[in-house]
Amino acid sequence: MWLTKEDFHKIADANAPVSLIDYLVYDEKAPLGKVEEVIEQPHQILLKIFFQNKEVLIPLHEETLNSIDRKNKKIYLTLPDGLLDIYLK
């Protein structure tokens, strides 16, 4: 099913992972990119962003998540060492 962004935001629960679409992802205060897609798997959630024109999947869990600023649509993470390097090579 396809919905407009306006209709999606009317029916999606604010705490559901899918509501993070369009949030800006930061790693230690530096912006990385906007959440294009949320991929929910049984044991983890992945955020798809584009960083330096490359598709990057970022794991979202207790160890990486610092905070979510819902008012300003920002996600603050501490990424595992070398994660971005995997995608940029």
Q: Reply yes or no on whether the pLDDT at 15 is more than 70.
A: no
What confidence score (pLDDT) does residue 29 get?
75
1 domain residue, yes or no: no
17 domain residue, yes or no: no
% helix / strand / coil in the chain, to the nearest 5? 20, 45, 40
What confidence score (pLDDT) does residue 12 get?
63
68 domain residue, yes or no: yes
CATH of the domain at 54: 2.30.30.240
pLDDT (tens digit per residue) in 25-72: 999 878 999 999 999 988 889 999 999 999 999 999 888 899 999 999
30 domain residue, yes or no: yes
14 domain residue, yes or no: no
* Domain range enclosing 30: 22-88
What confidence score (pLDDT) does residue 51 get?
95
35 domain residue, yes or no: yes
2 domain residue, yes or no: no
What's the rounded Cα separation, in Å, for the pair 49 and 46? 10
Q: Reply yes or no on whether the pLDDT at 3 is more than 70.
A: no
Question: Count of domains in the chain?
Answer: 1
